[in-house]
Amino acid sequence: MKRRRDEAAEMEIVWQTPANPPERLDYIFRNGKRHVRPYYFEFISHVKNRWAGKTIVDLFTEEFKGRPYDYYVNAVQSGRIQVDGEMVPVSYIVQSSQKISHFVHRHEPPVLALDVSVLQKEPDVLTICKPASVPVHPCGQYRKNTVVGILQAEHGLAPLFPIHRLDRLVSGLLILARSASKADSFRQQIEAGMVQKQYIAKVTGVFPDDEQVVNVNVNYNAREGRSTVEVGNCCGNTPLKGKSACTKFTRISTNGTHSIVLCEPITGRTHQIRVHLQYTGHPIANDMLYLSEFAVDRSTKGLSADRAAANSGCSLPSSSPKSCVDEYCDDNSTVDFSIDPMCTNCPNLAPKGYDEDEEGLWLHCVRYSGPDWVYECPHPEWASHD
């Protein structure tokens, strides 16, 4: 950690870097959400060629739009933005490859306050039941509020190497290798097509009784954050942009309103199961991203996704919240954390722009199997029809 006196705030600040591990008391539990106590963090980047020639303030204002112009002016003047470890004037022109440090009061988005339960703990493999809404590893705004971060903070498990990925809003089985060599072994089997994957989903309507195989390309649009399917025309004159994708679906049960469906992806494209279910006319029943073309009365859906996740096989045991300090578990408590005078998120715990009503998907990974191994995860509560 780096210690220095912040000139604007006139206080001693301890700056964290990715080398500082998460700790149990970093987490605050409030109103069914797991928050991270805001902390000071150094973001490091290097000047790209297209940034060169811009002033340091213009660079941040144009490339990092989450904060206003005045904030960046103050950040440069106070030394919270530095170039090559040195303070610079607001008119400073950056050059290619220079190191830029941005010292921020970091607020991570909260996730659902569900236990990251360990299913199997072997010398070289760990399997867990991942709660919905928790990302697997540090990415974007998330660092401590991740599966890897929580396992390190609450179970002392590190290092860990996820061998497959689950989207943040998806729950279920996650396999983590405990060494890089074991991770490579798993990945080689996955790339060779030797691993079978099974998920279950709760979809709208009565899914067909016979097996459905969807074999249509999936095209992911990173700007929109969603995938679409592409079906070739009869003449084949228009080249397809998407990647080949295949998923096998089998109905497990139905109550006439929803169906529980076994999903077996043969390939692994972004949002493949979600968009292929949409293609069948039976999207996941609480998937707002892929329900856009379907009329849905959410009041008739039963449990909302976050309540359903709280009742799933990955939920916190009734005694688990008391494993943290009571002060931090009381939904109505006033939790102390440092209010930073320059921070654009303080005094709130969550960062600006966070969707407080975000839900977990009714999509759950239940089984992975390879040539000589099988790992499974309990089904969630929402997979049982009332």
Active site residue ranges: 167
* R_g of the chain, CA atoms, integer Å: 23
Q: In angstroms, what CA-CA distances link 235 with 219, 230, 232?
A: 20, 14, 8
| Residue 239 tokens, joined | 């080249």
Distance CA 348, CA 336 (A): 11
Give the DSSP per-residue string, 64-111: -TTS-HHHHHHHHHHTSEEETTB---TTPBP-TT-EEEEEEEE-PPPE
Query: In one letter, which amino acid is 63?
Result: E
Distance CA 310, CA 283 (A): 22
- Burial (CB count <10 Å: 0-12, 13-18, 19+), residue 133: buried
